[in-house]
């Protein structure tokens, strides 16, 4: 049985808990995700990385959730060789944000970092590389060194932005009709 002295203390504690919870919002960060908490309720303007799970945040604060699992992207790129022949390529790569650089990636680019950084970079670097060669030179080009060369350039830029980039595969879908079909480059070759 409660004494008369403890009853008011319990009531006051209940009111404090109720008022404290009323100002909080429940946020669930899914597995394989991280949240960037932007703290607007205090003088602290530094963003914080939150792990997956349930978090209670102030209503003035905001959370942006980043999926940190590996993503894969498949692009079809049409470009021209040095001799103005249309070359169709399939490019595949995997990526994910680097946790250690997630806050700077969030501030500089945001959640759509693949659309704003990687896709344009992959397309531009692939087109730049292909346009260096005539179609006949592309036939004898070692596709492995081609993929490795482009991948290193992209990885260097992506790393500076806070993105893990890997598994860069390039396949030639088709060559111009004047190239014989038995040529090694007309097959889907990957690194």
CA gap 163, 50 in Å, rounded: 18
Are the C-beta atoms of 116 and 95 separated by less than 8 Å? no
Q: Where are the beta strands (DSSP E) in 39-136?
A: 48-50, 53-58, 62-67, 71-80, 86-97
Q: Given a cut of 60, is residue 140 above it in pLDDT?
A: yes
pLDDT tens digit string along 24-82?
A: 888 999 999 999 998 776 666 678 999 999 998 888 888 999 999 999 999 999 999 99
Q: Given a cut of 70, is residue 187 above it in pLDDT?
A: no
Q: Given a cut of 50, is residue 122 above it in pLDDT?
A: yes
pTM above threshold 0.85: no
pLDDT at position 177 = 59
Annotated domain spans of the chain? 6-66, 71-186
**CB burial class (10 A; 0-12, 13-18, 19+) of residue 155?**
middle
Two tokens at 62? 């905001």
Are the C-beta atoms of 130 and 85 separated by less than 8 Å? no
CATH number of 71-186: 3.30.479.30
Residue with tokens 């960037």: 36
């Amino acid at each position: 049985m409660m004494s008369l002295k403890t009853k008011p203390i319990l009531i006051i504690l209940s009111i404090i808990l109720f008022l404290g919870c009323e100002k909080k919002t429940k946020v669930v960060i899914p597995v394989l995700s991280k949240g960037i908490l932007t703290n607007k309720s205090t003088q602290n303007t530094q963003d914080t990385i939150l792990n997956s799970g349930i978090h209670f945040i102030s209503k003035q604060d905001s959370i942006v959730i980043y999926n940190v699992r590996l993503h894969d992207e498949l692009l079809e790129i049409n470009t021209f060789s040095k001799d103005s022949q249309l070359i169709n390529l399939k490019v595949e790569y995997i990526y994910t944000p680097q946790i250690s650089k997630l806050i700077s990636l969030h501030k500089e680019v945001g959640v759509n970092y693949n659309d704003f950084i990687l896709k344009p970079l992959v397309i531009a670097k692939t087109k730049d590389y292909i346009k260096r060669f005539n179609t006949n030179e592309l036939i004898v080009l070692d596709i492995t060194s081609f993929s490795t060369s482009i991948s290193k350039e992209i990885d260097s830029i992506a790393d500076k932005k806070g993105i893990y980039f890997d598994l860069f595969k390039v396949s030639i879908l088709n060559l111009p009709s004047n190239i014989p079909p038995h040529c090694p480059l007309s097959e889907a070759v990957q690194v």
